[in-house]
């Protein structure tokens, strides 16, 4: 939502400085309700303190805090750079002083009823300042602009320091943004008009309920704060998410294979296998009937199979990237042939699943195995030279520290990975929920996408170490012979199957200019089609034609650089799903065969979809509060 998009913040009349303040009166609340909530707060607090004491009773005092992320060193380098160029710092401070002087003058003019232009405005999509009081009431407008000026000045000062290593510069930019986001006036009771209004009107009950919510989230995280983003009790797999009918027809240690019931009487001869990342669960592609890519593909006449990866624990600690290839696509190609009698399959790889697809194609090219007739890459990296903001967390020191933790447990905890991804969009995925849950004292709204987002998965230690070191640190997959899988040197330039790459313009996890480089690595040449969709890593992929959102760009050529591709790309209204279907339909040809049902071929039905592997959920759902009625 842009800076001019506002929502009603109260009942008082709008105007430059209408009314005495943002509340319009205080309420006393319900004493009985307050007593109930305070009682539960006391119970939760006592239990948490008791648990903390028991956990730490045998431990001594912690030593010096380790700088595992290298943040302290990065800011020491920044400080040294600023000292080496004091004139740049002075110039930045002078600009900030001038902006503050202008803001003060404008505020005084507003108090006298004059209209003035703002000195600083929120960027498009910044929802923190939606409440109309941020604009209509001069005090909150002053706080907002003062914060935006300070944030801009800090960012400019950090960016202005020269001669820093690129990794240090990325780290400084990322953590500076985290600090600026954290100190926003929207995150505090007395400087957020919406929260202040609610506090006065409810007699402070919102803050007491918010404290109760905070304690519940600490219980949910077993002592660590896990902010609830949605009502996790509102969803159940197979009931109101992941509901497309299907059967599990094959499984091994790492994967279940789901075959879906057809929705057409005849289907394309070639089956379609979808391989999602094992960093998340597959049902992002089957959230609801109206935005399910799986259901839509069935409606287009595909026989759809989906990989449902296991949620690993310590018994999977020694599983390798090679194991994921052997027990994933290679084993499942055999299973699909047994189920349908077809040797050739169209295969989709999403994100990390696309990276595995690339490695598998390189392996199969060396083996002269042509069973993958086409490859589709959903926001997937084959060339990691532009790793996006995740690169902030990946350098030798951080990977080594992560390996130590994974070695102790045998896996990377899913909540750690989820926290990392949430930091990439902290205002949307952290601070908005701090305000809603803890300051306003409200329960999170039931939202299927956020339910999926909170349904985190672990990563086996050995596999994840290989992935981080060989893909991110060494960027070895793109180089001929850069990595070896099952004794086979992988050379992506030998892969000549038709390939479709869909990337998204706002993707911070797999930046599109990096995915474009990956498309250039493959040896298919004219057989490769690159498409750029709107929005980001999830919303840009889960974008059904019925929504008619975002649009997409196409270019039949693959020039040397992403910039050249973009300069000559053509924009289209609607969803890239339709473009993909036209592409894959042209490869499949007009031939159709009778629809195949799970269990009709050489594989027996094991259980109903969504299957047991996807149902393993980490942690426990936050309990309903006593004060809820």
**pLDDT category, 71, cuts 50, 70, 90?**
confident
Mean per-residue pLDDT, 13-26: 40
Q: CATH top-level class for 246-406+458-608?
A: alpha beta
Alpha helices in 329-460 (DSSP H): 331-340, 352-366, 396-409, 414-424, 426, 432-433, 448-454
Q: How deeply is 604 buried, as exposed, middle or buried, from its count of CB atoms within 10 A (0-12, 13-18, 19+)? A: exposed
Stretch 110-117: mean pLDDT, rounded?
89
Pairing of strands 411-412, 372-378: unpaired
Catalytic residue among 78, 241, 310, 351: 351
More confident residue, 18 or 147: 147
| pTM of the complete model | 0.85
On average, the pLDDT of the chain sits at 87
Supply the pLDDT for residue 1. Answer: 37
Q: What is the mean pLDDT of residues 577-601?
A: 96
pLDDT exceeding 90 applies to what percent of the chain? 67
pLDDT tier at 482 (50, 70, 90 boundaries)?
very high
351 in catalytic set: yes
Neighbours of 272 (CB within 10 A): 26
* pLDDT tens column, 389-431: 888 888 898 899 999 999 999 999 888 888 888 888 888 889 9
55 confidence band (pLDDT: 50, 70, 90): low
pLDDT higher than threshold 50 for residue 26: no
The percentage of the chain sitting over the pLDDT mark of 70, rounded to a whole number, equals 87
Model confidence at 617, pLDDT cuts 50, 70, 90, reads confident
Mean pLDDT of 153-165: 88
Asked whether residue 2 carries a pLDDT value surpassing 50, the answer given is no
Which of 55-69, 330-344, 398-412: highest mean pLDDT?
Answer: 330-344
Residue 627: pLDDT band with limits 50, 70, 90: very low
List the chain domain ranges.
Answer: 71-203, 246-406+458-608
Token pair 């799986």 is found at 294
Average pLDDT of the residues in 108-112: 89
In eight-state DSSP terms, residue 12 is S
SS3 (DSSP) at 474:
coil
């Amino acid at each position: 939502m842009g800076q001019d998009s506002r929502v009603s913040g109260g009942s008082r009349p709008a105007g430059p400085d209408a009314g005495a303040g943002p509340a319009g009166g205080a309420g006393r609340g319900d004493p009985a309700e307050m007593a109930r909530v305070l009682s539960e707060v006391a119970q939760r607090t006592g239990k948490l303190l008791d648990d903390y004491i028991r956990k730490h009773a045998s431990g001594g005092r912690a030593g010096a805090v380790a700088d595992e992320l290298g943040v302290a060193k990065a800011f020491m380098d920044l400080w040294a750079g600023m000292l080496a160029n004091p004139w740049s710092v002075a110039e930045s401070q002078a600009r900030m002083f001038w902006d503050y002087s202008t803001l003060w003058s404008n505020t005084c003019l507003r108090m006298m009823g004059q209209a003035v232009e703002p000195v600083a405005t929120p960027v498009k999509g910044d929802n923190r300042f939606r409440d109309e009081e941020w604009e209509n009431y001069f005090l909150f407008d002053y706080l907002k602009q003062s914060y935006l000026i300070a944030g801009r000045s800090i960012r400019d000062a950090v960016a202005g320091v020269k001669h820093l290593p690129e990794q240090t510069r990325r780290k400084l930019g990322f953590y500076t943004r985290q600090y600026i986001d954290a100190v926003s006036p929207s995150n505090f009771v007395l400087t957020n008009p919406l929260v202040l209004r609610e506090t006065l009107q409810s007699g402070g009950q919102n803050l007491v309920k918010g404290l109760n919510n905070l304690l519940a989230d600490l219980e949910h995280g077993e002592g660590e704060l896990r902010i609830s983003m949605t009502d996790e009790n509102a969803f159940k797999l197979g009931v109101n998410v992941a509901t497309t009918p299907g059967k599990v027809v094959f499984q091994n240690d790492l994967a279940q294979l789901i075959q879906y019931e057809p929705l057409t009487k005849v289907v394309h001869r070639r089956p379609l296998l979808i391989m999602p990342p094992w960093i998340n669960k597959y049902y992002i592609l089957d959230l609801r009937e109206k935005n399910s890519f799986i259901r839509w593909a069935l409606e287009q006449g595909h026989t759809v199979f989906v990989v449902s990866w296991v949620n690993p624990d310590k018994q999977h600690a020694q599983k390798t990237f090679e194991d994921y290839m052997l027990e994933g696509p290679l084993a499942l190609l055999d299973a699909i042939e047994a189920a349908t009698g077809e040797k050739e399959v169209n295969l989709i790889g999403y994100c990390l699943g696309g990276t595995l697809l690339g490695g598998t194609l390189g392996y199969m090219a060396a083996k002269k195995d042509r069973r993958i007739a086409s490859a589709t890459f959903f926001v997937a990296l084959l060339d990691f030279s532009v790793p996006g903001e995740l690169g902030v967390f990946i350098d030798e020191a951080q990977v080594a520290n992560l390996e130590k933790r994974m070695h102790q447990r045998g896996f990377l905890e899913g909540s750690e990975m989820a926290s990392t991804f949430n930091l990439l969009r902290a205002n949307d995925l952290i601070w908005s929920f701090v305000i809603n849950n803890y300051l306003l004292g409200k329960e999170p709204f039931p939202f299927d996408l956020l339910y999926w987002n909170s349904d985190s998965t672990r990563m086996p230690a050995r596999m994840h170490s290989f992935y981080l070191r060989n893909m991110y640190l060494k960027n070895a997959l793109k180089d001929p012979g850069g990595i070896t899988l099952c004794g086979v040197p992988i050379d992506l330039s030998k892969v000549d199957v038709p390939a479709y790459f869909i990337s998204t313009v706002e993707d911070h996890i797999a930046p599109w200019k990096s995915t474009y480089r990956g498309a250039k690595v493959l040896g298919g040449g004219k057989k490769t089609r690159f498409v750029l969709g709107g929005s980001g890593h999830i919303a840009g992929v889960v974008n059904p034609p019925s929504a008619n959102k975002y649009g997409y760009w196409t270019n039949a050529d693959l020039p040397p650089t992403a910039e050249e591709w973009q300069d000559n790309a053509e924009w289209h209204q609607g969803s890239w799903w339709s473009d993909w279907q036209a592409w894959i339909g042209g490869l499949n040809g007009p031939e159709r065969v009778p629809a195949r049902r799970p269990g009709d071929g050489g594989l027996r039905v094991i259980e109903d979809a969504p299957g047991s592997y996807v149902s393993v959920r980490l942690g426990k759902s936050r309990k309903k509060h006593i004060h809820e009625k």
